[in-house]
Amino acid sequence: MEGEINNFIMVWASIYASICYCYGIAKSVPEGLARLFAYLPVVILFIILPFNLYSLHLGGTTALFITWLANFKILLFAFGMGPLSDPSLPLSHFFVLACFPIEVQANPSPKNPQGVDEPPNFVPNGKNLGKPPANGHTKLSVTRKTSSIGLKPPSYYVKKALLLSFLLSLTLYKDRLHTKAFMVIHCVCIFLGLECMFAGVATLVHVLLGLEFEAPFNDPYLSDSLQDFWGRRWNRMVSSILRSAVYNPILRNFSRTFGIKGAFNLAILVTFFVSALMHELMFYYMGRTRSKWGCTWFFVIQGLCYVVEDVLRRKFTVTWRLPRLMTGIIIFGFEIILFSWLVIPELLGFNADARFLEEYMAVVKFMMSLGQAWKGKGYYLLVNVEASWTKLNQLMRNML
């Protein structure tokens, strides 16, 4: 554990130095190919660094933050785009925006501070879906309202964390659970874990720097369509980066060749395929095993279903809608079933469930040893946590 933490510190020291280099280069090198070539060593370094970490928590998180999100942001910044392109950013803000899955909150609408009525971000403006102008130049705009969805109250995430702890305790008894039930529990644990982790990072940075951030998730179980789920509810930070780095450039550059509808379909499919490849890379960092490509098939199917849904939506006019609760169950249920079928077996292939719990207990014991050495209150708090965890396991054993 201590060796992994030392590696983690060294990796993040390298990351900080690299971000400082990017920040300084931007002051003297103009945006474009020159800045891109100056940033390529950093991009390559960010791909290599996660190989120095072997734990799911530290290695997987670092790979997601740096190899995927930070690299995409840096590549966008090389051309003067993305969240780092504001020249007034101080180094501290530049660093956290580059390295963490956070997005500064836009000014919320006074009438709708939670942004509930925001349309899916992937949908092109309907006015542009007709024939291009006679002069052959296609004016393209993408529907992108900036109504803001801020972080939810702390009590919301505390409840999610408690539910996550309860579900994790269930996974200890997978031999007594039905295989499908076990996989569904894992799906929900991954969702809850991601939401709590992203919200925790945003809250920590808010406390340190005083910035307001967008909510990383927006109740994906209330989605009324795949467009709603992927466009504005699920992992909104990753969706925003993919939209800027993949979707928008394809939509702009291929609209004249394939038309707006064709470019839209192509942009959606390529975006999901890029997301699939990045997920495969994240899994490789965590497991260091050969991929079975289940994750790729998951996102390919998602992209195809997304395009089919959009075609049907435009072809058939629906004058009625199912209740949101029912559509949420259908959409979220579809995601859980497909994820359980294609992705969870890959995670279980490198014992992600057992390793996660082992690392959790290793962290608790490590913190207890530090607390015992310091004779502080933190030691007694961690003792109570371990005792509560033991009691919860015993309770679940009796129930099952």
Distance, in Å, from the CA atom of 305 to the CA atom of 324, rounded to the nearest integer, reads 20
The one-letter amino acid code at 335 reads E
Question: Rounded to two decimals, what is the model's pTM?
Answer: 0.81
DSSP β-bridge partners for residue 142: 124
Nearest Cα to 119, choosing from 145, 150, 151? 145
Contact 34, 20 (CB under 8 A): no
Distances from the Cα of 357 to the Cαs of 169, 191, 201, 340, in angstroms?
9, 16, 21, 20
Residues 6+ apart with CB under 8 A from 29: 35, 38
Contact 134, 102 (CB under 8 A): no
Sorting pLDDT into bands at 50, 70 and 90, what band is 265? very high
Each residue of 284-333: pLDDT tens digit? 999 888 888 999 999 999 999 999 998 888 887 776 777 878 888 899 89
pLDDT recorded at residue 383: 53
Token pair 């707006």 is found at 260
Residue 126 has pLDDT above 70, yes or no: no
Handedness of CA 340, 342, 347, 349 (dihedral sign): positive
Distant-in-sequence contacts of 170-175, Cβ < 8 A, 24+ apart = 170/396, 171/353, 171/357, 172/357, 172/393, 172/396, 173/396, 173/397, 173/400, 174/353
Each residue of 193-248: pLDDT tens digit? 898 888 888 888 888 888 888 888 988 888 888 999 998 889 888 999 999 999 99
Backbone angles phi, psi at 135, to 5 degrees: -75, 0
Structure tokens at 253: 């550059």
Token pair 């280099």 is found at 21
